[in-house]
A and B are shown apart, each in its own frame.
Chain A
Amino acid sequence: MTSVRPKLKPDTPKTVTAWNTASGNVVWMRADQSWTEDASEVGVFTGDAAEAALEHAKTQEGSITDPYFMEVTEEGEVAGRETLRETIRANGPTVPYGVIIQ
């Protein structure tokens, strides 16, 4: 596992996130356990359903890599102490890249 992230309580709303193996792009799990590169489409899971979602993700580690739980609100917005990290992961660097500003 590349990512060892903070443990979340069972009733904390969460989604499953990973990377697309071929491209490296960040992916999130939809409610139907399919994968999306659109952070607005994340599925929200708790309790046993969340564990089942993560287990399902782990069966797909050919096409995706290193799935883990990411805390979200009940509406699917990124939440918790890793908000900054996951926001950057979703939206890209907070600085423009490859551009020289003078």
Chain B
Amino acid sequence: MYRYDEFDAQIVKERVDQFRGQVERRLSGEILEDEFKPLRLQNGVYLQLHAYMLRVAIPYGQLNAARMRKLSKIARDYDRGYGHMTTRQNIQYNWVALKDIPDVLEELAEVEMHAIQTSGNCIRNTTSDHFAGATPDEIMDPRPWCEIIRQWSTFHPEFAFLPRKFKIAVNAASHDRAAIRVHDIGLQMIKRGEQVGFEVHVGGGQGRTPIIASMINEFVPEGEILDYLEAVMRVYNRFGRRDNKYKARIKILVTETGPEEFTRLVEEEYAAQQVSEKIALPQEEIDRINAYFAPPAFEDKAETSDAFERAKAADPAFANWTSVNLHPHKVAGYTSVTISLKPIAGLAGDATDSQMAVMAHLAETYGFDDIRVTHAQNVVLPHIALDDLYNVYRELDAAGLATANESLITDMIVCPGLDYCNLANARSIPVGQEIQKVFADPAYEQDIGKLHINISGCINACGHHHVGHIGILGVDRKGEEYYQISLGGRADEKAAVGQIIGKALRHEEVPGAVKTIVDTYRDLRTTKDEKFIEAVERLGVEPFQEAIYAAD
């Protein structure tokens, strides 16, 4: 994990001091909300439906035990005993008082964390594969490049006031777990021979205008990527629309300009960069950053573990959990564990302070001090020895953290919705809970197989509904909550925007409609191996539309 140098530490400390002064002036009435709002947003502070919300950056979703313990302490001391993991691998506190936020930021700085650039029209947290550095399907660990991009984009003076917010994701595995094609810039790491480089996707996004990114360059060598990113950002900064908030994202620029012309503009900008402007990251610096992400000291182990096999045989619940929540590891005898934050009828993505403390303890005791937050609002312990897995499971289970549903239908992405959000039109969390109850039987859920339901409470799409296999969007109809259902969206390497299947449904109709969709799939799938999304792609949405709306 990257460690701050003296400059990082000084910058963060100065920022905390600066914000403390700004808060004091706000509380004294010296500055008013209109002046204060851009200042608080630059420090991750939103004013939500019933309270302030503080969004804390978790660079590429990586934590260690000390940081997780600090997040736990903040939840306990300054909030109401929990935190909410977000779809951009950050954490949000929903109840923190403005007067306390400078103290919170000071505490975060103690563990090299902050809330800088978690809001506002700047480059946000660079996100990545939550199994980075552990998964066998990656060509290399993407985190060093996420860190390099983080350092480049933090306080970049030229990109502090972009037309709109800007999100970058990096993936290095064959399976895209970072949703790069629905990011402003998505980078896929690839190798040509021994040369490492990036496939560059630009102009993806969700919100009211969902667009899958265009690939504008098949291979930018790693040493040139920052200069290339600068070229993309400059084209966006110059031509991106500032007259209309809803047309200000780079996806609109790429679409309106056309991907070919946009690419030409980027290439022109790139070619025009003077030698003196080039970042030309020296290899020693790349090596220095790489060293922070060196693999932990794995032991030589056999592929299988007797202890693990015995525990599975003795404890069916454990066996079931391992069949769902584990991901293969590149090192024999190890596995990556997904800790689901989606208990049935629980709060999607929320962890209590005591649960955070448990996760910190497990990472420290069994997991090489490594923890990840996933964009699907779960937590991962990326490096757990199979020999230790049963101990990990029992502690998770005791803490209410052993739900066996990773990537199954009850493992939904759910935005805070109208229960918390000042922008929402409808609630998301209760809808998700009610759907979960329909599929609470593990045998039924596992028969359905992998299926992503994503729920947003408004068109801003924080719940990624456009790219859910089943997407659910809350809308307001004269003060009543209705929900639009779409099918066929996906966020991976075959990214697609879902298709709305018909008129919006009332709140109470949604769980039944989802069950109808799922049972239609079970009836029509060729075999149990045909996943839901594959069946939708083969059949189109019509059979599902018919099943839901035929009675109308």
Contact = CB atoms under 8 A, between A and B. Distances in A.
B33 A82 contact: no
A63 B29 contact: yes
Contacts of B50: 24-26, 88-89, 92
Interface in B398-437: 400, 403, 418-420, 422, 427, 429-430, 433
A84 B49 CA distance: 12
Given A24-B51, A82-B479, A102 B350 contact: no
A65 to B, nearest CB: 5
Given A83-B479, A100-B346, A22 B80 contact: no
A85 B33 contact: no
Contacts of B418: 84-85, 88
B347 interface: yes
A4 B343 CA distance: 35
Task: Please indicate which of the listed interface residues B50, B98, B345, B422 has the most CB atoms of chain A within 10 Å of its own CB.
Answer: B50
A77 to B, nearest CB: 14
Interface in B47-68: 47, 49-52
B22 interface: no
A22 B95 CA distance: 12
Contacts of A85: 49, 418
Nearest to B23: A22
Contacts of A93: 419-420, 429
Contacts of B37: 2
A61 B430 contact: no
A19 B481 CA distance: 25
Task: Please indicate which of the listed interface residues A66, A80, A97, A99 has the most CB atoms of chain B within 10 Å of its own CB.
Answer: A97
Given A2-B47, A100-B352, A95 B347 contact: yes
A98 B350 contact: yes
Contacts of A101: 343-346
B427 A94 contact: yes
B321 to A, nearest CB: 13
A65 B29 CA distance: 10
Nearest to B428: A95
Contacts of B32: 61-62
B142 to A, nearest CB: 32
Task: Please indicate which of the listed interface residues B80, B94, B96, B347 has the most CB atoms of chain A within 10 Å of its own CB.
Answer: B347
B400 A102 contact: yes
B411 to A, nearest CB: 15
Interface in A4-57: 19, 21-26
Interface in B64-114: 80-82, 94-99
B379 to A, nearest CB: 14
B27 interface: yes
A2 B37 CA distance: 9
B344 A24 contact: no
A95 B349 CA distance: 14
B433 A89 contact: no
Contacts of A62: 26-30, 32
Contacts of A95: 347, 419, 429-430, 433
A42 B420 CA distance: 22
Task: Please indicate which of the listed interface residues B32, B33, B99 has the most CB atoms of chain A within 10 Å of its own CB.
Answer: B33
A101 B343 CA distance: 7
Given A88-B418, A95-B430, A98-B352, A24 B82 contact: no
A80 B29 CA distance: 33
A89 B427 CA distance: 12
A3 B421 CA distance: 11
Interface string B171-197: 000000000000000000000000000
A80 B347 contact: no
B245 interface: no
A66 B52 CA distance: 13
A22 B350 CA distance: 25
Nearest to A82: B479
A45 B93 CA distance: 35
Interface string B24-45: 0011111011100100000000
Contacts of A82: 479
B51 A25 contact: yes
B430 A66 contact: no
5 contacts: A2-B47, A24-B52, A24-B96, A101-B343, A102-B346
Given A24-B98, A95-B347, 15 more contacts: A2-B37, A19-B47, A24-B50, A24-B52, A24-B96, A25-B51, A61-B32, A62-B26, A62-B32, A80-B479, A81-B478, A85-B418, A88-B427, A100-B352, A101-B344
Interface of B: 26-30, 32-34, 37, 47, 49-52, 80-82, 94-99, 343-347, 350, 352, 355, 400, 403, 418-420, 422, 427, 429-430, 433, 476, 478-481
A-B complex: 7 closest residue pairs judged by Cβ atoms: A62-B29, A98-B82, A81-B479, A93-B419, A24-B52, A100-B400, A24-B51
